[in-house]
Structures are given as C-alpha cells and as structure tokens.
Amino acid sequence: MPIRPPVEPCVCGTPVPRLALLLALLLALSAALAGPVRAQDAECTTRRPRVEALRIGGNRSVPDAELGAILFTERAGRFRRWFGWNVGPAACLDSLEVRRDTLRIARWYEMRGYPGTTASVRVERKGARTANVAFTVREAPPILVDSLIIDSLPPDVIAVRALRAAILGTPLDDTLLLRQVDSVQLLVRQSGYARARAPEYRRIYVDSAARRAGVRVVFHPGPLVHIGRIDVDLTPQRADAPALDEPEVRELLKVAPGDPYRARTVGQSQQLLYSYDLYRNVAIDTFPLGSARDSLLMRVRLVEGPSRRLRAGGGWGTLDCFRTQTRFVEQNFLGRAHRLQLDARLAKIGVGAPLDVAPGLCAPGVRADDFSQKLNYYVGSSVQLRGVIGEQWHPQLTLFSERRTEFQSYVRETTLGVLAAFERPIIPRVNNTFTYRFDGGRTTSDQAVACATFGLCRFNDRALLLTPSRLHAAGVTLSRSAPALGTPAVNDERWAVESRIGTIHVGAPAKTVNFNRTQLEYALYRPLSRHIIGAARVSAGAVITKRALEPLVPPQERFYAGGQNTVRGYGQNQLGPAVYIVDAITTTATVDTFTVGIAEPDSGYLRLAPAGGTAMALLNLELRTRIGWPANLLHWVVFLDAGRVWNNTGNYSVSGLRLTPGFGVRLLTDLGPFRVDVGYNPYPLEFGPAYLVRAADRTAGTSGRAICVSPGTVEPFNDADINAASGPYACPTTFRPPLRRGIFPRLAFHFSIGEAF
C-alpha cells in the first residue's frame, strides 16, 4: 500500500474512562510512595537537616569523584529531593562529621603529595529541614620527587631510564609510587625471576620548605630461574593409541628445558593445548628440582576426552516439511590433532523429489511452491590443520555443495563451493587472515521475485542473479579485535584493514568482471569523565573495477549502510542507491506506439529495495553513560551518525554525507546490552527508479515481470508489446516521493543486542 501521513489519534468514546483510571492509579501510587515523608522528616530535624546539594570547589589536582568517595557527608537521593519519597539514605547532616570531612580532605591530599592543603565547609540553610553543603579546598603546592635511586633491577626487565622519567617530577604520592613499584615487580617475576622477594621502598629525604623529596627503591630479584626438566603425564582415551604422543606434546609447549621460567609462557602453553579440543583437563605445575634454587621441575598432566562426536537431529517445519541434519567431528584426524568436520542436511523430505513419498504431510503452500518440488540439501566437509606450517598458522579448507530455496522466491544451486582460510595471531588481539572463495552455481527466479525479494529490478542486476556464474575471490585481513564479549570498551581501540580481489564470470558466453574490494575501519573508546565514555568509529571502502562493468559487481560485494549498526536515522540498508517498488500506476502514455505505465511520486510507494553501491564512507560518534541511572542496569547514549553510499564511477568525493542524530537506551543483560536506538532523519528521500512488480500467473502460463514505471520510462507496460519491442530498457531515476511531514515519520527505531560498534 502507498505510504500515507499518519492519522491523528482520536481520544473519544470508551478510552476516556480508561485514561482517567490510569491517571487515578498514578496519583494513588504517588501518594502511597509519598506517604513515608513524615517518617523521613522525623529522621532529619532542624538540627540535622537533609542535604539537598553537595559541592566541592577549589580542587584542581584531585577530582570531585575521588574526594566524594572519602566523605561521610552525602547528598540525598533524587527520589527524595524530587518527589519526597522515602527511598534511599536519609542523608541528614551531622555537624561533627562534616567538620571531620575537612580533615579527611586534608589527610587525603597529604597522602597524594600535597601536605599543607586545608579545607573549609559552609552550610547554607534552604528550609526548616534542608540545607546545602559546600566544601572549599585550598591546595598547597605539591612535594615533587627530584631524586630517585633504583638498585638491583635486572636490565632485561624494563628500561631504567623510562622508569625514572615516569617518576621524577611527579608528586610524592606514596600510593601511586607503590603501585608503580608493584607493576615493575610483576614484570620481574614474569621475566624468569620466580623467587624475587618484595622490593624495598623508602623516602630518602623530604624538604618541606623547598617542596622536594628523594626516593629509593631496592629490588631483590634473586637468581634467574630456569626450567630444569619437563615431565609429561598422559592419560589417553585409548591406552594403546594416545591422540598425541609425548614428543608431539613437547613440541606444542612454548617452553623447553633450559628456558627461563615465565608464568605467561606457561599459561600460553596451557591455552594452546586446550585449544586442540583433545583434552578434558590440562594442568601444568612446577616444583623445586632438588636443592637447586635456580631450577624448576615442570609437570604437564593431560587427560584426553573423546576425539569423535556424532550428532543427528530431525523435525518438521511449515516451509521445510520433514528435515534432518547430522554432524560428525574427528578431533584427531590423521594424527597431530587435525580436525575433520562432516555436515549433511536435507529438507523438503516428503514433497521434494526423489524423496517425495508423503506430500500430504506437508503444508499446502509448500506443495504449491514450484521451488519446493525438489529436495534441498547441503553436504560439506571441513578440515582444520594444526602444526603443518607452524604452530601459529591454522589453515582451514571447506568443500561444499548445496541446493537452497526461499519459499516462493528463488532457488540457489551451488555445484561446488570452496572456502580456504589461513589465520595467524601476530600479537594478542591482532590477527592476520588470508582467505580464498570459489562459488560456482546459479540462482533461478523470475523477474518479479528478483525485484521484490532482492531489489534486483534493473536489467543488469537481474542478469547477474539469474544466469550461471563462477566467483573467485582472494583476500587478506589485518585486524585488532574488539574486547571480549560482555566487556564494555572504556579505554580501548580496534581496527581492521581488509582487501579482496575477485573475478566473476557471468552468463553464457561468460562476461568476465575483475574487481578489488577494500575496506578500512577504526574505532576508538576513551573515558571523558567518571560518568561519560566517548566512542568514535570511521570506516571507508570502495570497489574498483572498469566503469562499464560496475553494474555487474555481485550484490554480496557491494556496500550497504543504514540501520542499527551504521547510520541509525535510516532503515536497514536504505542509505544509498535504492529502487522504489510500487503497487499501482497512476497514468499511461504512448511511446513509439507502445503503452507505458507511469507512477506519480505523489501516489507513494510500496517499499524501498536497497541496491548497494561501490563506495562507502561512515562516521559514528557516541557519548555513553558509564554509570547507569536510575539503576546500574540502565545506561543512556547520545549519538551522531554520518554516512554515504554511492556508485563511484571514478568519483571518490565524500560530499553529501547524511547526518542523523539520535539517542538510545542500553539494558545490561548476560547476553550483552539490549539496545534501543531512535535516530532522526531530516532529509527527503532520494531519487530512484520505480518498478511495478507483476507476479507470475501459473494458470495463464505467464512469468513474472518487473516493469519500469518511473516518469519518463519507455518500457512497454503490456505483456503483448514486450516481445515486439527491443530491450533492455534503462529505467530513469526520476521517482522521488514527497517530503515527509511531521516528526514521527522522520524517526527510525532500532532494537538489537550488543553495541553498535
């Protein structure tokens, strides 16, 4: 149906009593919650008034949040201050503790290296039982560390010059200095000095008049501890055939006899053994080796689990009729823990040939669907090799063949598909991945389905989808991954650089299209205050090919934007080139003796089908609350998204970015934050081609058509004329619906789990 302006709601008839009842319930609830106000007032008296406001001023070196955490005096909660509800602490002023708070501030400053700092307090009455409290800090100059002596620190642990530069000239903050010393001590232990004793930290002198101090740190690393011997204790699933024998296990370990003992390296060895999925338990322990103080015995205990797993299942579905699937996994394929996975799936059992044995048990719609008259299948095998080209590389090869259908839409038949990937971690969270893909097959549909389902309404797009094609693509990706799932990004960054070259052969005789697809993305997360986190992401990409062949770039290689993770002022993938699908024409005209149909923009459209582009630019800015309100589970976001998707035709200018502001809510769950975002789009719709989708008529024997009905079209509207006319026809991009009126039609709502980036 055409999109029309929303109708103003009418509040009349029976809804009025319901609205009045709802308001009465809210008033009753407010009165019930406000009932305990008398008890609250009884708790806070004229001598002990409730603290309405708490301010700290004059502090430049220590933030408000840090000082607020050490104060006894606190501010009354929002619900008490706003509504008078007896919720949360009473926050009554204690005249003795408020004076002690000034001493607490002075003492805290002294610990931070600012002795002589004082604080005063002023209490301002706001009512009979309420008051405002203001602390004023008068900071003294800091005592700076101008002399630092570091003794017995091993030179291979950390650069002494860098450590001195980090401490000299800073305030004499004992807590911070001890924290730095403990960090260095941890590095000492991780560098092989496993028996290092705690370092000594002491002040050499403190000159209060000159505001200078000297510090000395003495480390006691002891001897460098080595791995003296490694024992491997195997408990195999089969006593006569362990998955990996002892020499192979030793090759996987990242340590060897004679190496310095490093806890991090031992932990990496344990993680590597677990990653092979061969063992139920991996334990690595160390023991003293005789009387030697510089040698350790390392014992590796491995308990194998089952190396083979077989899973099978089946069921019945409305669109699949009877279906079944099975998976077999061999964790020790050909030895050395290679992993083999075999998958098989069948669907349309009962109605699809050659297993069309019980069509009566399938849904009527499936029996009438032309695409469901043959069996759907998937067969695939995947092998992941370990240790073939080094322990860091994990090559994986997948071969598959499938027939997949979408109900009353299309059938995709892949004779042979190949996926190859080589992934190697470079440093923690930074991976290098090489990929290759081959896909040989075809998608069968009619023009109407191709247009209505995929948005492939233009002639070149339909030719790409409906004719046999062979795709070869090889790429490389260098990326720094995001933090672990469920860990909010507070002070971090991630990035990815991906480049892929591909060749697709379309039709018969085949037309060859060579292309290069490159995309870059960078995201940054920084704390802006105790309450706010700033997040930013920038991304850009382009597909480079010959200008004449650009329309034949496969849909899966194009760029799309708009939606919950890109530009949130638009619907999913609706930013950029698109096609309007209408459900009726407004008028007809005669062109070259043929009748053409025309849909006027004022009549509206049925839906927008994204066509994608060959160039993309994207920018996202977010301010995220770090502390939830009113509960810690609820966080808020304000964002500004900007982006553009276009067909470059040799032009890579990013002018014309679409900027859409908005806000969102995050409800923290175990699966990640449940996200609700509302984006505002102030822009009119873009110009584009308009198509009328005419479905196939099985009884009349006619196929479906997607007919261009944009103003200025020359494509014949009647089926009788289409065979006599010469095509294909270019559909003019002259259709644009009128500007949307009001606020609500300009809002885009998005619901999902996980942050946008």
Span 615-631, pLDDT tens digits: 999 999 999 998 777 76
CA 282 to chain centre: 32
**Omega within 30 of 0 (cis) for the link into 673:** no
Q: Are 599 and 2 in contact (CB under 8 A)?
A: no
Q: Where are the beta strands (DSSP E) in 573-657?
A: 578-582, 587-591, 594-598, 607-610, 615-625, 634-646
For 626, left (φ over 0), alpha (ψ -120 to 50), or beta?
alpha
Task: DSSP letter for 726, please.
Answer: -
Weakest-pLDDT range from 132-141, 342-351, 680-689? 680-689
CATH number corresponding to 144-220:
3.10.20
Which residue is listed with tokens 């001023």? 57
pLDDT of residue 55: 93
φ/ψ of 30, rounded to 5, equals -65, -40
For 127-148, the pLDDT digits (tens) are 888 899 999 999 999 999 999 9
For 573, left (φ over 0), alpha (ψ -120 to 50), or beta?
left
Full DSSP string of 505-567: EETTTTEEEEEEEEEEEEEEEEE-SSSEEEEEEEEEEEEE--GGGGGGS-GGGSB-B-STTS-
Q: For residue 420, how many C-alpha atoms fall within 13 Å in the half-sphere facing its CB? A: 8
Q: Are 402 and 379 in contact (CB under 8 A)?
A: yes
- What distance in Å separates the CA atoms of residue 581 and residue 574, rounded to the nearest whole number? 13
CATH says 226-304 is which class? Answer: alpha beta
- Sorted by sequence, the CB contacts under 8 Å of residue 279 that are 6+ apart come out as 273, 302, 303, 304, 305
pLDDT of residue 612: 82
Q: Is 21-138 in CATH node 3.10.20.310?
A: yes
CA distance readout (Å), 118 to 95, 135, 229: 18, 10, 61
- What distance in Å separates the CA atoms of residue 411 and residue 373, rounded to the nearest whole number? 11
Give me the helix-helix angle, 459-466 and 447-454, nearest 10°.
100
Give me the helix-helix angle, 174-190 and 160-167, nearest 10°.
170
Q: Are 636 and 604 in contact (CB under 8 A)?
A: no
Structure tokens at 66: 């840090």
pLDDT of residue 466: 62
H-helix segments, 172-294? 174-190, 246-252, 263-275
Looking at residues 365-379, what average pLDDT do you find?
A: 86
pLDDT at 63 over 80: yes
Extents of the domains making up the chain: 21-138, 144-220, 226-304
pTM (two decimals): 0.62
Q: Do domains 21-138 and 226-304 have the same CATH topology?
A: yes
pLDDT at 29 over 60: no
The confidence band for 424, taking pLDDT boundaries of 50, 70 and 90, is confident
